[in-house]
Structure 1
Amino acid sequence: MALPSPVVDKLPPIVEDADMPPGPQINMNAMKVMAVLYSDTTGQQYGLSLSRATGIGNGTLYPILDKLEELKLIQACWEEIDPRVAGRRPRRFYTLTGEGIRTFEAARAALFPPGLAGVARA
């Protein structure tokens, strides 16, 4: 069971409700995390790699991951390794669910309509 996420819950949505399609409202930091997961083809994104890719610190990142998992926008699984052989603890890998992909694409489209696609990449 995920703990309440005051960091995520208190942040404003990235766009106004009227501009967003129905579904969960996500803030800019959650959008950054989802963007990294959306572009990942390896399925090997874990906490530290997400923190490095997004610039979001652990104290903010893990509540976001908990919230996204609670909303079923991402799923997580533990790496299957022997810690003694690998010399480190197993990593928890995160991937977007189908609903997470749809939510990210809808939020991205609301933020960057087709006519602004070039601006978003600039």
Structure 2
Amino acid sequence: MCCLLDALSETQGEWRHGYDLMKATGLLSGTLYPLLMRMTEQGLVEAEWREPAQPGRPARHAYRLTSAGTALARDLAGSAPGQPFKGALA
């Protein structure tokens, strides 16, 4: 979970697709998506369907940290609220 929090923390507030998160974390889809679902249920991550950028492509889920997820990432990284924590959870 820490590598996923770290990857989502790199682009705070920006929506990221699962494929992008797989590349960033090295997690396989069978691990990544259940983690994202669990983190969404716990209120750490929010998910939404995003329309495709190119016509003819399917809609995809996108994910980003909630304020609770950001706070947890900071706590795990041991950083103060105003300090960056990118890479601190790896």
1:40-79 → structure 2 map (5 Å cutoff): 40-41=11-12, 43-79=14-50
**TM-score where L is the length of structure 1:** 0.59
Q: How many residues align?
A: 80
Q: Is the 8 A contact 2:51 2:59 kept in 1?
A: yes
* Cα displacement string for residues 40-75 of structure 1 (whole angstroms, at most 9, x for unaligned residues): 157231111100110000010011001100110000
Q: Secondary structure at the match of 2:57?
A: coil
Higher alpha-carbon Rg: 1
**Residue in 2 that maps onto 1:109:** 78
RMSD: 2.1
List runs of 5+ in structure 2 lacking aligned partners.
80-87
1 or 2, which has the higher strand percentage?
2
Aligned structure 1 segments of 4 or more residues deviating by more than 4 angstroms = none
State the 1:87 CA deviation.
Answer: 2.2
Of structures 1 and 2, the one scoring higher in RCO (CA 8 A, sep 6+) is 2
